[in-house]
Amino acid sequence: MSATPVVSQVDSYNREKSQLITPLVGASVAELTAWVQQQGQPAYRGKQLHEWIYQKGVRSLADISVFSKQWRTEIAEVPVGRSTLHYRTVAPDGTVKYLLQLADGQIIETVGIPSDKRLTVCVSTQVGCPMACDFCATGKGGYKRNLARHEIVDQVLTVQEDFQQRVSNVVFMGMGEPLLNTDNVLAAIKSINQDIGIGQRSLTVSTVGIRDRIRHFAQHHLQVTLAVSLHASNQALREQLIPSARSYPLVDLLAECREYVEITGRRVTFEYILLAGLNDLPEHALELAKCLRGFQSHVNLIPYNPIQEVDYKRPNRDRIQAFLNILKQQNIAVSIRYSRGLEADAACGQLRASKRG
Ligand code: SAH
């Protein structure tokens, strides 16, 4: 007979078991049902677990009061997969920036953006970002790793709980390049859609463009919006701002975007940061219009948000308006997106997982 006390036997059993299990957040009813059945429990426990994870926001399985005491003790160590709040700050416009700590200690940023009836969450897909775009704070801090499915889904649950309001929209525009982490992003989209219940049309994935990945993404025939960070109207300018443009030229990117439209029947959103004196001249607007002629697309102009390391400038309102007007005259669908959360360093391009920029 073993001399090991029962409690620590249970502990080591749990530790071994939990290593075999990926964290539960992000799992579907079917996956959770299969898991509870593996544990010798009846199938309906899967539905209960699903409800506790996505609706009640349980952080430890030990707290699920509808489960028997004994089973709860057994599964207490199984990771639910929730992050812990490291820091939270509110900008004067109501935008909330969260620094969330992951199980391995890494920190990511998430932003909650309330407006009228909407609550939009801007989620990160990587810790840091390897793309190193010159105007973006995230790239300045380097790249650590991809986020797992549960780490992406957790961000939506966290904002939903904090606001005590249902999230209406999710934009994959936080730290990282989503299409370098396509599998986990696709899995997270599925869960956000089916488990949290947010319509695919209310989700937007933003990419700087990775060769072949836009086509691959299109082949999943999702209803989500694809946003492509263009930022330049010609190859030379784009290379200057985005290092990866050298190996993946603008013509190739635009060709792949056209394929996306053909495959999905959905238009593409093009994001274009306006940098004073650099890419905001009338000739750039005309050049951009030429690139996009006959293209089922929408242009989102994003006035540059300042970051410390570089001295780009945001154009004044007249210049922004002039750029917009030229595109409109050229029959390009276009709008201006003034980022929220500027004062909390929570705006587009300012996310660097630190308390201040
Ligand atoms: N890697 C993805 C998603 C993250 S960035 C992408 O590049 O699309 C989300 C958006 O914010 C992108 O369009 C990005 O180019 C933009 N952005 C980055 N830095 C910015 C800044 N300083 N000011 C305004 N927008 C910025």
In this predicted structure, what is the pLDDT of residue 13?
41
Cβ of 307 closer than 6 Å to ligand 1, yes or no, is yes
Q: Using an 8 Å Cβ cutoff, are 26 and 153 in contact?
A: yes
Residue 354 pLDDT exceeds 60: yes
Active-site residue, 291 included: no
User: How many angstroms does the Cα of residue 24 sit away from the middle of ligand 1?
Assistant: 30
Q: Which of 154, 159, 148 is nearest to 186 (CA)?
A: 148
User: How many angstroms does the Cα of residue 14 sit away from the middle of ligand 1?
Assistant: 42
Quote the CA–CA distance of 31 and 14 in Å, as a whole number.
Answer: 19
Q: Percent of the chain scored above 90 by pLDDT?
A: 85
Cβ of 323 closer than 6 Å to ligand 1, yes or no, is no
User: pLDDT per residue over 125-137, tens digit each?
Assistant: 999 999 999 999 9
**Ligand 1 atom nearest to CA at 227:** 8
Least confident of 14-28, 108-122, 325-339: 14-28
Q: Using an 8 Å Cβ cutoff, are 204 and 222 in contact?
A: no
Residue 356 pLDDT exceeds 80: no
User: pLDDT per residue over 224-259, tens digit each?
Assistant: 999 999 999 999 999 999 999 999 999 999 999 999
Long-range contacts of 58-62 (CB under 8 A, 24+ apart): 61/24
Confidence of residue 21 (pLDDT cuts 50, 70, 90): low
In this predicted structure, what is the pLDDT of residue 342?
78
Residue 287 pLDDT exceeds 70: yes
**Ligand 1 atom nearest to CA at 207:** 8
Could you tell me how far CA 69 lies from the centroid of its own chain?
Answer: 37
3-state secondary structure the chain: CCCCCHHHHHHHHHHHHHHHCCCCCCCCHHHHHHHHHHCCCCCHHHHHHHHHHHCCCCCCHHHCCCCCHHHHHHHCCCCCCCCEEEEEEECCCCCEEEEEECCCCCEEEEEEEEECCEEEEECCCEEECCCCCCCCHHHHCCEEEECCHHHHHHHHHHHHHHHCCCCCEEEECCCCCHHHCHHHHHHHHHHHHHHHCCCHHHEEEEECCCCCHHHHHHCCCCCCEEEEECCCCCHHHHHHHCHHHCCCCHHHHHHHHHHHHHHHCCCEEEEEEECCCCCCCHHHHHHHHHHHCCCCEEEEEEECCCCCCCCCCCCCHHHHHHHHHHHHHCCCCEEECCCCCHHHCCCCCCCCCCCCC
In this predicted structure, what is the pLDDT of residue 271?
98
Residue nearest to atom 7 of ligand 1 (CA): 208
**Token digits of residue 319:** 């210049």
Testing ligand 1's pocket by substitution, the residue of 205, 348, 352 carrying the most ligand atoms inside 8 A of its CB is 348
Stretch 38-54: mean pLDDT: 97
User: How many angstroms does the Cα of residue 87 sit away from the middle of ligand 1?
Assistant: 22
Q: Percent of the chain scored above 70 by pLDDT?
A: 93
Q: CA 209 → CA 88, 109, 230, 310, distances in Å? A: 31, 22, 8, 23
Residue 12 pLDDT exceeds 60: no
Q: Which amino acid is at 130?
A: P
Provide the whole-model pTM.
0.93
Q: Using an 8 Å Cβ cutoff, are 164 and 193 in contact?
A: no
Quote the CA–CA distance of 121 and 98 in Å, as a whole number.
Answer: 11
CATH class of 18-75: mainly alpha
> Structural domain boundaries of the chain?
18-75, 83-344
User: pLDDT per residue over 105-126, tens digit each?
Assistant: 999 999 999 998 999 999 999 9
In this predicted structure, what is the pLDDT of residue 346?
74
Could you tell me how far CA 247 lies from the centroid of its own chain?
Answer: 25
How high is the mean pLDDT of the chain? 92
Q: Which of 246, 253, 247 is nearest to 229 (CA)?
A: 253
CATH number of 83-344: 3.20.20.70
Confidence of residue 36 (pLDDT cuts 50, 70, 90): very high
Quote the CA–CA distance of 184 and 48 in Å, as a whole number.
Answer: 25
Stretch 80-89: mean pLDDT: 97
User: pLDDT per residue over 65-77, tens digit each?
Assistant: 999 999 999 999 9
The catalytically annotated residue of 74, 109, 256, 271 is 109
